[in-house]
């Protein structure tokens, strides 16, 4: 048994060294929050990917013959290169 600090509410508690929450409630709350945060992150990424696709369609639509789209014109439209799929 050792003194621990709850990962969620920071309350001190004693328990096995692998325990990181003071109670089952804190553990459940923590995982619920984590899940909500992950969902939010996924939602934002989807939004960016969708926006990227719209930008590409817009740019490609204007230049049907042109296979290469220049990077600057994408950047100007806030294209997020790190989210390419
Ligand atoms: Zn707690």
Per-residue pLDDT of 5-20, as tens digits, reads 999 999 999 877 789 9
Give the CA diameter of the chain: 71
Distance in Å, CA 5 to ligand 1 centroid: 8
Distance in Å, CA 39 to ligand 1 centroid: 23
pTM for the model stands at: 0.54
Domain residue limits, the chain:
2-83
Distance in Å, CA 34 to ligand 1 centroid: 15
State how far the Cα of 61 lies from the Cα of 79, in Å rounded to an integer.
16
Instruction: Provide the residues around ligand 1 (an ion) whose CB is within 5 A.
Output: 6, 8-9, 11, 22, 26
φ, ψ for residue 50 (rounded to 5)?
-65, -40
What is the per-residue pLDDT for 54? 92
């Amino acid at each position: 048994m050792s003194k621990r600090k709850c990962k969620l509410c920071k309350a001190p508690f004693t328990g096995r060294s692998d325990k990181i929450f003071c109670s089952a409630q804190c553990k459940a709350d923590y995982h619920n929050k984590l899940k909500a945060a992950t969902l939010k992150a996924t939602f934002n990424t989807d939004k960016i990917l969708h926006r990227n696709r719209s930008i590409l369609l817009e740019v490609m639509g204007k230049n049907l013959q042109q296979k290469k789209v220049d990077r600057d014109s994408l950047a100007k439209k806030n294209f997020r290169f790190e989210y390419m799929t």
